[in-house]
Amino acid sequence: MSAMLKRRVEFSLAPAVTPSVAGSLVMTLVFLTLFLDGYARAQVIPNGPETTIVAGSDGSATITPSKVGQLPPPEIPTNERLEYQISWLGVPVALLTMTTSPVSDKEDILKLTKDGFHPQSLLKLDCQARTNTYLETVFPIRVQLVSFLDPRSRNPRRFEAFIKRQQRRHESVEIFHTEKGEAFHQLPKGRSATVAIGPATQDGLSLLYYVRTIPFRVGQEIPLEVSAAGRNWQLNSKIVRTGTVQIKNMKEWPAIAGEAELANPLPFFGVKALVWFSANQERIPLLATINSNVGPVTVVLTRRTAGEPL
């Protein structure tokens, strides 16, 4: 591999912090903006005609071209922990953790039983993000998303969102009755809505795990629907390219990338993101590239531990 392909992009800017990007992936503080209150647009950073270099800090990653055939659908792992670093303009700004585990908390069991579900058959997805020490005293953000998912049908059952940004708070709950074709949304300020949903409609967190279970091949189009904020959001997604992703201080993976955007963009709210997954049975989300209205944002995996798939 040439020196040019191995080169990494690093920034030493000291950006002024502004209240712009907070929240959905559904995967990061940035992806949460899709459903809450932000604006993001994806952009890969070119380095020659075939190679993309992604700017991150401790999690800098280099992507080189490679060929990957059609990938079989993996299972959703239990006891998986994914840790990510979020960087803006090459400067680390936030930390993100995503975990999967069986439902064991007594409060969770009571809530799910009251909703009419069987907790022992569900998987708990937990996503937590916060600004790092650099930004904490200036612009603190806390995010927690929890989704209770049936790993066999891949349908979400209950979704809880809590976001605190300085003095602003957002709390909401969604209850999915996919068999009845509806989801009940408990929204801020005492509002609520019942939304008609399809058999594959997801919440903002379960979407990331649902996508990991779909067979991948380059050129494949994948229609997606997310129910959030009292309505459904259609996303156009497509598997667009393959490569080899090498993350600093970690390992190298054959990888495949998917691109997604809102089917009907709102004014000043065009969302398009490029996400790279490992091209193996685990289908690990490795990194994402996003171009926000305040500059490029990268989300890079820094650590993964996992148990056996369900």
Q: Could you read off the pLDDT of 219-272 as tens digits, one per residue?
A: 889 889 999 888 998 888 899 988 888 887 787 888 889 988 766 554 444 457
Q: Could you read off the pLDDT of 277-290 as tens digits, one per residue?
A: 998 888 899 998 87
Give pLDDT, residue 61.
Answer: 61
Q: Could you read off the pLDDT of 65-89 as tens digits, one per residue?
A: 656 655 666 778 889 999 998 887 7
Question: 131 is written with which tokens?
Answer: 């600004």
User: What is the distance between the alpha carbons of residues 186 and 164, in angstroms, rounded to a whole number?
Assistant: 17
Residue labelled with tokens 């005609």: 49
Residue 180 phi, psi dihedral angles, 5° rounding: -90, -10
Cα atoms in the Cβ-side hemisphere of radius 13 Å centred on 169? 5
Give pLDDT, residue 223.
Answer: 87
CB atoms within 10 A of CB 194: 12
CB atoms within 10 A of CB 153: 13
SS3 state at 258: strand
Host H or E run for residue 136: helix 133-136
User: What is the distance between the alpha carbons of residues 45 and 198, in angstroms, rounded to a whole number?
Assistant: 36
Give pLDDT, residue 293.
Answer: 61
Per-domain residue ranges of the chain: 3-7+16-304
